[in-house]
Amino acid sequence: MSASGWQAVFEGCVLLMGLANILSAGFFWQMRATYVSKDDLAGLENKFEAQMKDVFEQLDRKAAEVELRKFDDRLRNVEQTVAVNASEIRGVRDIMLRVEHQVSLLVQYRMEETKP
């Protein structure tokens, strides 16, 4: 190959390399538009962290509400048990008063019987 042939090959390679550089620059320019920048990513991270904090706070509130409902249910159960026990105690008291009255009548009768 002569010097002018090599010159043409060299110019062709330079032209192809220039075209490849232009195409890759366009490709990277397009990719820049599709990927997120560091500043945008930092903003998204902050927004995500704030949202996650809100979610965890809501979960904590829900857990507290559930615990409060459970406690309220247990308290109502205790109130019902106390009411049942109080009515049973009143019933036993009434029975004891009747028995006491009967015993006192029997004692009076026996004492009158034993008088000379």
Per-residue pLDDT reduced to its tens digit, 72-91: 999 999 999 999 999 999 99
3-class SS shares of the chain: helix, strand, coil, % to 5: 95, 0, 5
How far apart are the two ends of the chain, measured CA to CA in Å?
163
The answer, as to whether pTM is greater than 0.85, is no
Cα 110 to Cα 106: distance, rounded to the nearest angstrom: 6
Calculate what percentage of the chain has a pLDDT beyond 90: 33
